[in-house]
Structure 1
């Protein structure tokens, strides 16, 4: 594995982390980010303040979630969710996970339905869905504290055509065939969530 590839992956994660931190998408050190590096994954280290930048923010793991080389750094607690996505959605090259008020509210409002559908919104084009009055349904899974169970449940609902999964009262996972695509998907989902919540409030 080329050192240049690893450094490029770390630089990508650093830029995305800084961008999302400015949006307050990592409250209380929550959230995690990863990108593929050949047959490995560069991922955020656990328990770090994502509003800060240090030389020990990221590490490499294999596709089972184990560190590639000996390190005192601990991978994100939800590394198994990332590896499930990479193993099941083969075109995925980046996976991002954030916690926002809007995605938590939507996941709770529609958690019993196991999904929520958005229709007729311009931002649906961000998912390469171009039909007139297009719709997209993002699945919702329960928030299992046991990470292997959570990863298994997420694996059951993955759909390459819908690059995201909500975890009830937890957050969202998105992915894409590049870091740019994953970021676009996340921004579009968060817009749809925020719009939906505000629209419901206006209608009351």
Structure 2
């Protein structure tokens, strides 16, 4: 870990926070961001967003370094987001370099709509390329996890559903989206791709007046394809 790496992480996360806040993805100080600044073979060190900050006005000074026990490395007034525990487990499970968590109307609606299936299958959508999925007629299943207020339990539930390395995200019912990537640029792209697809899918569902046509639902498996 170097000072340069820490400043790079702070700058990248602050830029993402500002961009997402402009889109309304961090309402009421919700959501959190983190980036790994330690090497994969070293104990976990994360740059994380401070708790309770308005993401629309965050600066690089609103991020702090935490160690593998999720404690601040340096003394100060900042405290890490409560959901840092979930981030840490995702890093351990995936080996990723950045985790982002957003609360949007669209991801909440989609998670609620497909909660009975426990997943959303995305097929034949161009925006899957934003997840680096390029094969023709590609299909992935994005897990939907029950919202648990005990964060270690929520972390366990999320990690238990990370089974397909092609799927860099998980929906939390009535809560939001966790998405990750090798670095902040990739994680940001994944969030943007997911959020585009959530909005498209729900708007298409609405056009169908409350019922998905049979060609869009695959045997009750929560399968949704492009129009």
Question: Which of the five TM-score ranges fits, normalised by the shorter chain?
Answer: over 0.9
- Map of 2:41 onto structure 1: none
Matched, 1:67 2:77: no
Alpha-carbon shift at residue 70 of structure 1 (Å): 2.2
- Map of 1:52 onto structure 2: 57
Equivalent of residue 197 in structure 1, options 198, 202, 208: 202
- Map of 1:100 onto structure 2: 104
The 8 Å contact of residues 45 and 56 in structure 1, kept in 2 or not, is answered as: no
Which sections of structure 1, spanning at least 5 residues, go unmatched? none
- Map of 1:127 onto structure 2: 131
Alpha-carbon shift at residue 133 of structure 1 (Å): 1.4
| Change over 3 Å in CA distance of 1:54–1:178 after alignment to 2 | closer
SS at match of 1:16: helix
The 8 Å contact of residues 63 and 87 in structure 1, kept in 2 or not, is answered as: no
Deviates more, 1:79-88 or 1:3-12: 3-12
The 8 Å contact of residues 49 and 81 in structure 2, kept in 1 or not, is answered as: yes
- Map of 1:6 onto structure 2: 6
C-alpha offsets along residues 145-167 of structure 1, whole Å, 9 cap, x if unaligned? Answer: 11111011111111322100000
The 8 Å contact of residues 44 and 57 in structure 1, kept in 2 or not, is answered as: yes
Matched, 1:156 2:154: no
CA RMSD of aligned residues (A): 1.2
The 8 Å contact of residues 64 and 80 in structure 1, kept in 2 or not, is answered as: no
Deviates more, 1:46-55 or 1:20-29: 46-55
- Map of 2:185 onto structure 1: 180
Q: How does 1:74-113 map to 2 (within 5 A)?
A: 74-90=79-95, 92-113=96-117
- Number of residue pairs the alignment of both structures matches: 203
